[in-house]
């Protein structure tokens, strides 16, 4: 009853980020600050730039100063000067992972003190529900004697810690865990994960480019770190349990525009306009002709046959490659996986954005100072594994998934375990943020991947009520609130 009363009280939850009209005007094509149509010859003819308000009282625009030049900005400029405009995918890689001021070389990026917060950081209930799902799939597979967790992009290690903790309530399953694999490129995040999972933190864990193994003081199995899923190797008698939570949204994208003369790539160029019309050192332009990357669109019937002149799409070949390798592991060893991310079940074209201090930001602003992200195209991920002897279910909305897994019952248990009113209210607020359609419950989606050898007439738990057409454009909402 207390849980229901608290829920009905309508406790205040985090609201979606509201974009100012000025910001929206400067993001004409989904983060493409103040860009517009190009002439057929190539580079973008720019207009409607956002400028500082008139502070002189005489109708003149205030002077705009460029942002400070960092080592990373200078490096990106040097590459563009040498090679020409840069694909957005290359810009993302440099901004996020460059050893020279790359965003993920910083450690303090996730959580309330960082730039964004993820579901596992909001409440232990999230990771616990995921752990229960994997345990149920293990039971459905006949309780194999060996399983391995594989997580791509494990953040601070919070969800893995929560899943391992809940697994202790199922001794037979917990004893079956032979090892944990974490795919993580950031040295700083590797060290945080090692500390979270009770492993020794030393230079080898953070810096090595090869796979590193460390024994956990909390568990009776080792933890291994890899830079790529290509490095993950498990024994033939081991069932893989794969998790990719907010992994695909940070993978590099390419952006293309359908023009009268075919597809053109939208790229990043140096903005040396004088006087400056924006504070940024870079701008978006369209290629004069087809680029090598446009073959991704031209040669893919999933993209090339259904778009009209003027349409813009975002494509992530690296997402396809990673999804394919996830499917290979699942298929080869008879495993299961979950992909959890914000996005839709169709291709979008205007979602590339920066996230800084829990707010949207122009992705061209101060590369390396913010997270860069784009919505996930679940239909593209599903098409990527059509020939890989796996079956995909969903996506379903995160709120639906969590309710199917029993998050309300878990909420009640946690509320009843404490007499602290503030703790109880925080639990309900976290529950609502994770499940409410106006918060994270709708825009975040969950897709399951099962090896064909595990497939039955019944879909896995939490995916019973949805078909591939279950999520339509009519249920779409703008991204908001957490990794936002």
Q: What is the CATH number of the domain that holds 123?
A: 3.40.50.12710
> Are residues 357 and 265 part of one domain?
no
Q: Note whether residue 92 is domain-resident.
A: yes
Is 280 part of a structural domain of the chain?
yes
pLDDT for the residue numbered 116: 55
195 lies in the same domain as 327: yes
Considering the domain architecture, whether residues 328 and 428 belong to the same structural domain is answered as yes
In this prediction, residue 6 carries a pLDDT of 33
Give yes or no: residues 293 and 322 share one domain: no
Q: How far is it, in rounded angstroms, from Cα 306 to Cα 304?
A: 6
Q: Are residues 134 and 272 in the same domain?
A: no
**C-alpha pair distances (Å), 468 with each of 247, 436, 437:** 22, 22, 20
Q: Examine the domain organization and report whether 366 and 452 are in the same domain.
A: yes
Which pLDDT value is given to residue 5?
36
Q: Which domain-ending residue is among 315, 338, 357?
A: 315
- Verify that 457 and 415 share a domain, yes or no: yes
Same domain for 173 and 218, yes or no, is yes
pLDDT of residue 317: 94
Residue 322 has pLDDT above 80, yes or no: yes
Within 10 angstroms of residue 71's Cβ, the number of other Cβ atoms is 11
Residues 225 and 351 placed together within one structural domain of the fold: yes
Q: What is the pLDDT of residue 417?
A: 96
**For residue 202, pLDDT beyond 90:** no
What average pLDDT does range 46-65 have in this prediction? 46
Top mean-pLDDT range of 18-27, 99-108, 384-393: 384-393
| Residue 299: predicted pLDDT | 72
Q: What is the mean pLDDT of the chain?
A: 83
> Is the pLDDT assigned to residue 441 strictly greater than 80?
yes
Name the residue with higher pLDDT: 186 or 302. Answer: 186
The string of pLDDT tens digits covering residues 75-93 is 999 999 999 999 999 999 9
Does 484 map to a domain? Answer: no
Which one of 296, 315, 334 terminates a domain?
A: 315
Give domain status of residue 162, yes or no.
yes
pLDDT tens for residues 366-390?
A: 999 999 999 999 999 999 999 999 9
pLDDT tens digits, one per residue of 247-261: 999 999 999 999 998
Write the pLDDT tens digit of every residue in 403-418.
Answer: 999 999 999 999 999 9
In terms of domains, do 294 and 353 share one?
Answer: no
Region of poorest pLDDT, from 42-51, 111-120, 235-244:
42-51
Provide the b/e sequence for 231-257 (b: ≥16 CB within 10 Å): ebebeeebbbbbbbbbbbbbbbbbbbb
Asked, for residue 113, whether it belongs to a domain, the answer is no
Alpha helices (H) along 107-227 = 119-122, 124-140, 158-167, 171-176, 187-196, 203-207
Give mean pLDDT, residues 445-457. Answer: 94
Q: What is the pLDDT of residue 117?
A: 74
Of 269, 287, 315, which residue is a domain's last?
Answer: 315
Q: How many other CB atoms are found less than 10 A from the CB of residue 458?
A: 9
For residues 271 and 232, state if they share a domain. no
**How far apart, in whole angstroms, are the C-alpha atoms of residue 159 and residue 10?**
27
Structural domain includes residue 309? yes
Asked, for residue 340, whether it belongs to a domain, the answer is: yes
Round to whole Å and give the CA distance between 148 and 335.
Answer: 9
Residue ranges making up the domain that contains 54: 16-105+254-315
Q: Please give the helix or strand (H or E) that residue 29 lies within, else none.
A: none
**Beta strands per DSSP E along 316-427:** 336-344, 353-356, 359-361, 371-373, 376-377, 390-397
Band the pLDDT of 359: cuts 50, 70, 90: confident
- 142, exposed or middle or buried, with CB in 10 Å at 0-12, 13-18, 19+? exposed
Total domain count for the chain? 2
pTM: 0.82
In a domain, 173, yes or no: yes
- Alpha-carbon dihedral angle through residues 168, 173, 176, 178, given to the nearest 10 degrees: -50
Burial of residue 122 (number of CB atoms within 10 Å: 0-12, 13-18, 19+): buried
Q: Is residue 174 located within the same domain as residue 208?
A: yes
Which of 243 and 7 is assigned the larger pLDDT? 243
In the predicted structure, residue 68 carries a pLDDT above the cut 90: yes
Band (pLDDT 50/70/90 cuts) for residue 297 is confident
């Amino acid at each position: 009853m207390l849980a229901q009363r608290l829920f009905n009280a309508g406790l205040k939850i985090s609201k979606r980020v509201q974009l100012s009209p000025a910001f929206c005007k400067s993001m004409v094509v989904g983060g493409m600050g103040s860009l517009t149509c190009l002439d057929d010859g190539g580079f973008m003819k720019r207009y409607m730039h956002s400028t500082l308000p008139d502070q002189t009282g005489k109708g003149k625009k205030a002077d705009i100063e460029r942002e400070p030049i960092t080592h990373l900005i200078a490096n990106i400029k040097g590459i563009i000067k040498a090679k020409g405009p840069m694909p957005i995918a290359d810009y993302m890689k440099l901004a996020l992972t460059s050893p020279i001021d790359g965003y993920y070389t910083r450690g303090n990026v996730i959580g309330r003190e960082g730039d964004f917060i993820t579901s596992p950081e909001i409440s232990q209930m999230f990771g616990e529900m995921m752990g229960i799902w994997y345990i149920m799939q293990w039971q459905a597979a006949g309780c194999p004697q060996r399983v391995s967790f594989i997580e791509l992009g494990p953040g601070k290690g919070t969800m893995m810690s929560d899943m391992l903790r809940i697994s202790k309530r199922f001794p037979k399953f917990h004893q079956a865990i032979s090892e944990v694999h974490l795919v993580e490129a950031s040295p700083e995040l590797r060290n945080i994960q090692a500390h979270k999972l009770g492993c020794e933190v030393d230079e080898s864990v953070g810096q090595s480019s090869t796979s590193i193994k460390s024994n956990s003081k909390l568990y009776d199995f080792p933890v291994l770190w890899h830079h790529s899923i290509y490095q993950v190797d498990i024994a033939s008698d081991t069932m893989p349990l794969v998790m990719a939570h907010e992994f695909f949204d940070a993978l590099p994208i390419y952006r293309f525009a359908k023009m009268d003369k075919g597809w053109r790539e939208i790229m990043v160029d140096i903005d040396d306009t004088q006087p400056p019309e924006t504070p940024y050192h870079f701008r978006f332009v369209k290629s004069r002709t087809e680029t090598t990357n446009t073959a991704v669109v031209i040669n893919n019937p999933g993209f090339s046959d259904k778009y009209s002149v003027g349409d813009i799409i975002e494509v992530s070949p690296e997402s396809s490659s990673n999804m394919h390798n996830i499917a290979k592991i699942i298929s080869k060893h008879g495993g299961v996986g979950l992909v959890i991310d914000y996005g839709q079940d169709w291709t979008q074209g205007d979602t590339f954005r920066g996230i800084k201090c829990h707010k949207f930001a122009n992705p061209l602003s101060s590369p390396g100072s913010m997270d860069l992200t784009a919505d996930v195209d679940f239909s593209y991920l599903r098409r990527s594994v059509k020939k890989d002897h796996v079956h995909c279910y969903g996506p379903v909305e995160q709120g639906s998934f969590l309710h199917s897994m029993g998050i309300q019952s878990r909420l009640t248990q946690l509320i009843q375990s404490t007499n602290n009113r503030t703790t109880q209210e925080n639990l309900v607020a976290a529950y609502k943020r994770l499940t409410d359609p106006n918060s994270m419950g709708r825009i975040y989606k969950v897709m399951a991947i099962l090896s064909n050898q595990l497939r039955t007439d019944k879909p896995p738990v939490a995916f019973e009520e949805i078909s591939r057409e279950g999520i339509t454009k009519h249920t779409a909402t703008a991204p908001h609130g957490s990794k936002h």
